[in-house]
Amino acid sequence: MASFIPRASKRLRLGAPSSQWICNDCRRTFASSIQSRQQQQPASSQRVGQDEKTTHFGYQTVAEDLKAGRVRDVFSSVASNYDTMNDLMSLGIHRLWKDHFVRSLNPGIPPSSRTHHPDQGMKILDIAGGTGDIAFRHLDHSSTINADHHTSVIVSDINPDMLAEGRKRFAASPYHATGRVSFLEANAEELGAVESGSIDLYTVAFGIRNFTHKQNALEEAFRVLKPGGVFACLEFTPQLSNPLLNAVYKRWSFGAIPLIGQIVAADRDSYQYLVESIERFPSQQKFAGMIRKAGFLIPGQDPKDEVVRSGWEDLTMGIAAIHKGVKPA
């Protein structure tokens, strides 16, 4: 995978700081998109009461209790074109990232580790995994690499349309009727249907940036995992490591992706939101700090060190990153 997922290149040292650099044309695109959508919304949806808690929905500020519904609407809109959406967002590389993500986790229990319990398998919870992209990879890896035909996956998503796509795909797969996959419609911030300490591996790919309360979701992940269980997240990052490539990528993201979304899926607004949501996601270091705050041990990080300096792997010059945490045994 090294040839497909190069490490982040050295930073180019420029005179002006680049961490927040966005071109003027892109800013005009953002403003135009936001203004257009606000004009289309009822006035009541644009006003937020003084006492209401607010959060971001892309570059808009909305009441917290409205965000989940809006995110649900976005993914209902793109559910049938989900693969196309990810191809546009990642220039098609998301398939390689997902392959690498799952291989790095090595799901399943190899025969040498289950000599006394031949029917033993891992219990995996895949959050925001409606269409089954990651779940298929978990099951394929456990079956073909670890000869484990007992590992199972719970595919959880807040959006019923995404889950419907996943059910459709699994119904046409060899895993249909094997009892190794189940579906759960749930909010990742409140996983009441999942018992505490019942999960071996918790994964979320390209989903956590859409959560209203990310810290709550991380704490729920900690709760449902068994001691020694692993939290793993694959997500886009807000900034590339190379400032020049970052500038080019921003022009592509904000200029081309919403336009292509309009042409391919007749849905510019959803794609505009998805691009904006990446910009609002925490940096790798900050998100790793949030994972540790939830109680996880960060791989390669001294628990006594106040500053988190590791725990993530940048992919393709930092377009995306893999984060991991381990629940203390």
Dump pLDDT digits (tens) for 134-183: 999 999 999 999 999 999 999 999 999 989 999 999 999 999 989 999 99
Residue 157 annotated as binding site: yes
The residue with greater pLDDT, 15 or 62, is: 62
Distance CA(329)–CA(50), nearest Å, equals 44
How high is the mean pLDDT of the chain? 82
Is the per-residue pLDDT at 209 higher than 60? yes
Residue 131 annotated as binding site: yes
What percent of the chain shows pLDDT beyond 70? 76
What percent of the chain shows pLDDT beyond 90? 52
Query: Could you tell me the strand order of the sheet in which 123-127 lies?
Result: 181-185, 152-157, 123-127, 199-205, 225-236, 320-326, 312-315
Residue 212 annotated as binding site: no
Residue 302 annotated as binding site: no
Q: What is the pLDDT of residues 229-277, one digit of tens each?
A: 999 999 999 999 899 999 998 888 888 888 888 887 777 887 888 888 8
Distance CA(72)–CA(201), nearest Å, equals 25
Task: Quickly state the pLDDT bin for 189 (edges 50, 70, 90).
Answer: very high
Is the per-residue pLDDT at 295 higher than 50? yes
What CATH number matches the domain at 93-239+284-327, 3.40.50.150, 1.10.357.10, 1.25.40.80, 3.40.50.300? Answer: 3.40.50.150
Is the per-residue pLDDT at 97 higher than 90? yes
Q: What is the pLDDT of residues 38-77, one digit of tens each?
A: 444 443 344 445 556 766 555 566 576 666 676 666 666 6
**What pLDDT is stored for residue 187 in this prediction?**
95
